[in-house]
Structure 1
């Protein structure tokens, strides 16, 4: 199934994994606008997680929490290995970060060294399924 994904999707994955969350948003949004289901919601779920991480980097706790929840809920509709992506791993990492942020609660300013439990968690990464 991964060979059916457009090259722009893989660019978005690279951008996500390298922390270029706004660029990932732009790349996946262009695909999302033109896509039909089931890819449309798949792109949107990853896009929402990327925007959540962008919000987190800008100390926007509320935006991060809302979009981590929306993105992970949207991706739960897909098999754990959809389109060559290990969605189970992405969802587990996203939910762990979301729960840590919820436990920390909103603050006037959040920074990576001021997140309480959340700072001990790595940011979610998109892992590929090993195809052998």
Structure 2
């Protein structure tokens, strides 16, 4: 798994599963895996998992038209992730923060009434450093 572009060996299996679900847009399932990883991890890296989890739950709320939940969790998750920029465990944290903050800005500009106008194809993916983004 530690090959160029793939996740490094250090990433726990639960976190990898959570990232797979995040990238598939399955944010509820992502939350389940990352919450378990977060609870099992005693070190500070647990807050990396929590940040990805919060951003994912933010996008979950967005998909359900919950503007307040989406903006609150995207904001909190991005703040939590900043501690791990630019990269942690091979995860391109800086990119996830930047793309999540871009989505947050767009949501704030749209406002609660127009939340459903957000282009869901703009939801970012969690990528590993050395991975090429497929856009």
TM-score category (smaller protein): 0.7 to 0.9
1:98 equivalent in alignment to 2:87: no
Higher helix share: 1
SS in 1 for 2:42: coil
Q: TM-score scaled to structure 1, two decimals?
A: 0.88
Taking only aligned residues, the RMSD between alpha carbons, in angstroms, comes to: 1.8
List structure 1 runs of 4+ shifted beyond 2 angstroms: none
Whole-angstrom distance in 1 between the partners of 2:98 and 2:85:
14
Structure 2 residues without counterparts, runs of 5 or longer: 1-6
Whole-angstrom distance in 1 between the partners of 2:20 and 2:37:
15
Whole-angstrom distance in 1 between the partners of 2:43 and 2:18:
18
Which residue in 2 is equivalent to 1:32? 38
1:37-57: CA deviation from partner (whole Å, max 9, x where unpaired): 322111100000010000001
Contact 1:97 1:121 in 2 (8 A): no
How far is the alpha carbon of 1:120 from its aligned partner?
Answer: 7.9
How far is the alpha carbon of 1:2 from its aligned partner?
Answer: 3.0
